Amino acid sequence: MTVHEQFNALLQDPEPMLVLAPMQDVTDRPFWDLMHRYGGPDVYFTEYFRVQPTGKPEKWILDALINNKTGKPAVAQMIGNDIPSLVRVAKHLEKYDVVAIDLNLGCPAPVVYRKCAGGGLLREPQRVDSILGALRDAVSVKFTVKTRIGFDSPAVFDELLPIFAKHSIDMLTVHGRTVKEMYRSEVHYEYIAQAVAAMSCPVIANGNVYSPAKAEDVLKQTGAKGLMIGRGAIRNPWLFEQFRQHRCGEPIFIPTGRDVLDYVRGLWAMTPEENIRENAQVQKMKKYMNFLGIGLEPSGKFLHDVRRATTKDEFFRICATYMDHDEPMPLEPFKLELAPTDVVGGEHL
């Protein structure tokens, strides 16, 4: 079965589709490979290609498409607002083995939305309308959209849904927060349910899926066709397979501390040491630990300690202190008391 046949079958399958969320500077090809070792999702999304009037698609993101060894469907995501450039890049990306082209309408990073791209486009529904129309005409594979429910208010969602429906997109992923809410509020699942009711295409729910039980609850609340999981998968790479076990009524695998430590070693090994300075690699690992740490222990001490590591030996000594044991670690997030400015502060599930 080709990846296109796989994707079509997933869209029609009554079982929920599981999707790895696109996360910039995280979901590259080595990360896909690592997730696949733990069971992985049904569908992988690339990091977003930054589309501008000049320039070509980033080679390191193309690598995920060229060397995708997971055997699973891959969706190429774009971000931008210049219609001729979006059309040009979409047609170029279709040359690779992609099952769909996705437009990012949800990125909440200020550096993105201030340029009226990603989530910033939600302030201009008519511009969204024009972009979707041009891409729908240009794209010959599936055309999908990932969105938030509004920029600073979900009031615009009522205007956006008919625009999405008008252009017959093939799948809509909804992150149930506004752009301004970033990741710091509860997820408004009722708006995802509204999208399910309004759209004829499959709708994927995104936001705060961190356990098999929570995944099942989100599906029940929203009626969505499937789930897109991002930060929860960084913390718990077993999550996709755990959900499948839950659906089949099988015992759910719970990793031990040493299983988690092996996963951390896998994260380190994604970047060959000869390609990066040791200190830079330690800093890169701290990004992953920001998400993993909130599922390790309730005090926040692991995060405090690991953020101060400067060498590989020091980093792994700290990790071993918290993970070198055979006790089960469900990796569900603790409600840590973190500063409001912390990268995983607020509603950080």
Residues carrying an active site annotation: 107
User: What gap in Å lies between CA 182 and CA 178, rounded to an integer?
Assistant: 7
Alpha carbon of residue 129 to chain centroid: 24
C-alpha distances in angstroms, 144 versus 22, 187, 267? Answer: 13, 22, 30
User: What gap in Å lies between CA 141 and CA 109, rounded to an integer?
Assistant: 28
The answer to whether 70 touches 42, Cβ cutoff 8 Å, is no
User: What gap in Å lies between CA 292 and CA 104, rounded to an integer?
Assistant: 26
CA end-to-end distance (rounded Å), the chain: 36
Q: How many Cβ atoms from other residues are within 10 Å of residue 273's Cβ?
A: 11
170 CB-side CA count, 13 A = 20
